[in-house]
Amino acid sequence: MIYTAAEIKQADATAFRQGMPADVLMERAASAVAARLTFRPRSSVLVICGAGNNGGDGWVVARESAQRGCDVFVYAPFGEPKSSEGERHAAYARRFVTIVEEPRDADYVVDALFGVGFRGPVTGKARDVITWMREQSAPVMAIDVPSGVPSDEASEFDGHAVKADTTFSLHGYKRSAFLTQTAPYYGTVEMVDIGLSHKSEWRVLTESDFDRGLLERDPYGHKNRYGHGCLIGGSRHLIGAPFLAARAALRTGIGLLDLAIPSEAHIMASSLPEAMYYGIDELPDKTYAATAIGPGLVDDERSDRLWQTVSRQSKPLIVDAGALTTEHLAAEGPLTLTPHPGEFARLTGRSVAEIEADRFRIASDFARQHGIHLILKGTHTLIVKPDGTGAVNTIQAAVLSKGGSGDVLTGMLLALWARTDRIDTESSPNEQAVLWHALAAQAASRQMHPASVLATDVIEAIGRI
């Protein structure tokens, strides 16, 4: 699960109401972190503790590390913890650790300066302490969030924060672990369950969430069982995009595929004989299991005419690239939009910087406002449902930062939506397509240098994961 600072505070408050004392909760959280720390025997450890609850966690970690044989020093630049439970833990920890008035070199540094409640930019003495931590060659372990990093969004983030090697995220992940500006500061993120009830609008997706049953075929099945889809796209100067999407749809297992393209693109039809072809201005009078529109399409009068046709169908509709406009936000059937940040900026009227700093909230609000499915692409792609809840893909594949990758995803989405009534999976077609896309990209990058991987290589890897 992924939580905001407010949701974390609510979870704490619920635990208190249910009878868990605050000092017990702090002990439980910090002890869980301490159990994950793998310090070498007899190592020296510097724990930097703030005055808030994060600092209280630091005092517990310091005590337990000392009890396990480490030489532990505590630096508390802002004095004693403000909370009574923090004070009690600090008083007990003093029996086992050495208090220092200035930060000192150590084999390991534990960052317990600020927690989820911090909002930047960092100023004053805290800025100096963070600067010192940034300059250390010793591994830095952060408790909950790296100090200086906001937990929810990055609109005020100036880049001055601890760069942790490992961050132990309490209760669940924080949104900033998946934002472009702040994710690099986390290092490796380890989620630490501290026994609180879980309730969040956002989930993380990992490889274990991919349903490999999608790769199976019924030995007694036939092409109609796997859906008949229509893909519409292409323009005079963008004739390759619809073919990338179409090939991806076929590799993902769609049973039948109609490809509607402009006359300029017909020269490439022989490269994909498995599809059935139509002129883009002569769509057949058929009801498809799903339709995708946009790869290589130009936003013009033709696009508007096509939209009037496809949006009236009650079946799933995937919208990408040139079809992503503010006029194309409503359809009779389930509607999935697949913008990258630049396209989403045009749809929302916001800047790319605004979107990247607060992706979760802006994407959630947009999907809820228009009642649509939204896939906001990026290093950590967001997959949002019409009710505003969603998931974030954690399978990173840098090879996808190349032209044509989005077209491949559109084709995969089409193939999965075309057989939604036949897919036996708890996850949505959108989540499965994003996961499959990323896994295929990883598979392709294992066959050649990542910089050399093309969208066509990703397509060929779809069936090899």
Residue positions forming the annotated binding site: 53-57, 111, 115-121, 144, 147, 241, 296, 340, 377-381, 406-407
| Contact between 340 and 378 (Cβ < 8 Å) | yes
Do the Cβ atoms of 291 and 242 come closer than 8 Å?
Answer: no
Q: Three-state SS across the chain?
A: CEECHHHHHHHHHHHHHCCCCHHHHHHHHHHHHHHHCCCCCCCEEEEEECCCHHHHHHHHHHHHHHHCCCEEEEECCCCCCCCHHHHHHHHHHCCCCEEECCCCCCCEEEEECCCCCCCCCCCHHHHHHHHHHHCCCCCEEEECCCCCCCCCCCCCCCCCCCCCCEEEEECCEEHHHHCCCCHHHCCEEEEECCCCCCCCCEEEECHHHCCHHHHCCCCCCCHHHHCEEEEECCCCCCCHHHHHHHHHHHHCCCCEEEEEECHHHHHHHHHCCCCEEEECCCCCCCCCCEEEECCCCCCCHHHHHHHHHHCCCCCCEEECHHHCCCCCCCCCCCEEECCCHHHHHHHHCCCHHHHHHCHHHHHHHHHHHHCCEEEECCCCCEEECCCCCEEEECCCCHHHCCCCHHHHHHHHHHHHHCCHHHCCCCCCHHHHHHHHHHHHHHHHHCCCCHHHCCHHHHHHHHHHC
CA distances for 264 relative to 245, 269, 352, 451, angstroms: 17, 10, 33, 30
Q: Which residues belong to the annotated binding site for (6S)-NADPHX?
A: 53-57, 115-121, 144, 241, 296, 340, 407
How far is Cα 289 from Cα 429, in angstroms, rounded to an integer? 13
Annotated binding site for K(+): 54, 111, 147
Measured distance CA(377)–CA(383) in Å, rounded: 9
In the structure encoding, which two tokens stand for residue 9, read together?
């505070």
Annotated binding site for AMP: 377-381, 406
Cα 400 to the center of its chain, rounded Å: 15
Report whether 194 contacts 28 (CB < 8 A). Answer: yes
